[in-house]
Amino acid sequence: MMKLFALACLLGAFAVAAPLSAAPVLYEGFSYTTGEHIVGKVSPAGTNWEDPSSPAQPVGASDTQLVTEGNLQYPGLATSSGGSLAVPRSPNGNISRLTLPLASGAGSWNNTNTPDGLFFSFTMRLNNVAERPDQEAIDLQSLGGLFAGFHWGPLTTSQGMASAAAYAGQVRIRREIVESTPGTFTQTGKYQLGIVKNNSFGTGTTVTWNTTQSWGVNDTILLVGNYKFNTGTTDDDVASLWINPTPGAAPGPATLESGVGNPDVLASGFSVIRSFWFRSDTAVLGDMTVDELRVGLSFADVTPVAAPAGLAEDYNQDNIVDGADFLLWQRQFGSATPLPNDSSAGVGADDLVRWKAQYGQTLSPTPVAAVPEPYALALAASGLLSLATVRRGQAVVKVKA
């Protein structure tokens, strides 16, 4: 009975509180006019894409980071729509930076409001490979080229990106090189990915490379990154990268980590994150396309799964979202097995939030009228309170006509 009472209280709280389901800090699907510059666009979160004040940025036709048509679809990830972003390899140092929405009352994302670190994800595709002599490619093996990550600075043009230590969780790319014959190294036409905390290579920073996997032209890759603040020393933060994880599954160990021994993100005496960026770099193999940028406080926030084939939140699969689905949710509450037609793991309060939003939806030819949200909440709350007053094992939910 106490469990049921607690659930009823939870439902009552939904009537006056924000939904408990996790939502990303930011989602950018690049739904803008094809061919326009991304710089100057306002993201769905209300923050702007802009150039940093330094290094000097190309303008006009020289700025080649443009919105492009088409999407990058990744198996199991929520379906992409809108457009995508072209990130050519040149001009070198061309950067588009997006300020992140901030936590309520906070001036930045830092160790106090990111208990599990700050996550990002995006999809990427290498579109071509530019020729480069083998020896030049070998010389670039240790550092590769940087093309995405977090940054300390907010998106005002007075905040540049010339400070090496102000980067946080750089994603890097390099050409795969193999020893074809003893002492002879050649390029395969594929690439490898790496992660590093920032750009402070003069202070002993090294890139952690994935040397066991490589990808080729037109492969669509899902990257999930995390920057975890730690406060013990100035080099104990951890930047992590998952390569091609499974959306909806537990993340498991990161594919790559850059941790102790590499300097933490630091600028103006404090360690914070306030923006995300994409960068063109002639050290990169070729031109890239990126899509589906997300930033969030958990791995699940940035890896939403594709919508189920049936009617979302129709738990009993009768093609209508109604009180019967609520009853099934209540009976299965706390189970580790997800309900039918629900995209989240297990059965919890987040499912109820989505049920509430879907209440009245149907797949039948003649839609039923949706019950107003306050009424739907009252229905759910009255059902739980009734349960608390009848014999164990019985369930009574009264639905007024």
Q: What is the pTM of this model?
A: 0.75
Contact 67, 30 (CB under 8 A): yes
Select, from the ranges 126-140, 209-223, 346-360, the one with the highest average predicted confidence (pLDDT).
209-223
Statement: residue 122 has pLDDT above 90: yes
What's the confidence (pLDDT) of residue 311?
85
- 155 vs 143, higher pLDDT: 143
Residue 364 binned pLDDT confidence (cut-offs 50, 70, 90):
low
CA distance 105 to 108: 9
127: left (phi over 0), alpha (psi -120 to 50) or beta: alpha
What's the confidence (pLDDT) of residue 328?
87
What's the confidence (pLDDT) of residue 14?
43
Residues of the chain with CATH 1.10.1330.10: 2-17+308-387
Tens digits of per-residue pLDDT, 255-269? 999 988 888 988 766
Mean pLDDT (whole number) for 389-401 = 37
Contact 218, 128 (CB under 8 A): no
- 109 vs 399, higher pLDDT: 109
Least confident of 110-114, 268-272, 284-288: 268-272
Question: Would you tell me which CATH number, out of the four given (1.10.10.10, 3.30.420.40, 1.10.1330.10, 1.10.3720.10), belongs to the domain 2-17+308-387?
Answer: 1.10.1330.10
> What string of DSSP letters covers 20-53?
-S---SEEE---S-TTSBSTTPBPTTSPBEE--S
Query: If you count them, how many residues does the chain have?
Result: 401
Task: Return the CATH number of the domain spanning residue range 26-302.
Answer: 2.60.120.200
Residue 390 binned pLDDT confidence (cut-offs 50, 70, 90):
very low
Residue 66 binned pLDDT confidence (cut-offs 50, 70, 90):
very high
Token pair 């010389």 is found at 139
CA distance 235 to 396: 58
Residues of the chain with CATH 2.60.120.200: 26-302
Tens digits of per-residue pLDDT, 327-336? 888 988 988 7
Mean pLDDT (whole number) for 137-151 = 93
Contact 175, 136 (CB under 8 A): no
Tens digits of per-residue pLDDT, 156-170? 545 778 888 899 999
Reduced to 3 states, what is the DSSP secondary structure of residue 197?
coil
SS (H, E, C) 345-376: CCCCHHHHHHHHHHCCCECCCCCCCCCCHHHH
What's the confidence (pLDDT) of residue 22?
55
Tens digits of per-residue pLDDT, 82-102? 899 999 999 999 999 999 998
**In one letter, which amino acid is 242?**
W
Statement: residue 389 has pLDDT above 50: no
What's the confidence (pLDDT) of residue 64?
94
